[in-house]
Amino acid sequence: MSAEVEEMLKRFMGLKNIVGVIVVDYDGIPIKTTLENQQSVHYAAHMQTLTEKARQVILDLDATNEFVAMRMRTTYFEIMLMPHENFFVVVIQNACD
Amino acid sequence: MKRSTKLRSEAPRAKAYDGDAFVNHFAHRGAREIIVMDSSGRPMRSTVSQRRSYAYASHLYALATMARNVVRDLDPSNDVTFMRLRATRQEVHISINQDFIVVVIQRLRKHKENH
Residues in A touching B60 (Cβ below 8 Å) = 57
CB B27 within 8 A of CB B97: no
- Residue B115 banded pLDDT, cuts 50, 70, 90: very low
Please give the average per-residue pLDDT across A4-27, as a whole number. Answer: 86
CB A79 within 8 A of CB A72: yes
Residue B83, chain A, CB below 8 Å: the answer is yes
B15-67 pLDDT tens trace: 777 778 888 888 877 888 899 999 999 999 898 899 999 999 999 999 999 99
Q: Is the ipTM of this complex over 0.90?
A: no
Residues in B touching A79 (Cβ below 8 Å) = 71
Q: Measuring CA to CA, how many Å separate B42 from each of A64, A73, B32, B39, B80? A: 26, 23, 20, 8, 19
A→B interface, C-beta within 8 Å: 42-43, 46-47, 49-50, 53-54, 57-58, 60-62, 64-77, 79, 82
Q: Residues A54, A57, A60, A61: is their CA dihedral positive or negative?
A: negative
Tell how strand A67-74 and strand B43-46 pair up: unpaired
Minimum CA–CA partner of B84 in chain A: A71
> Do the Cβ atoms of A62 and B87 come within 8 Å?
yes
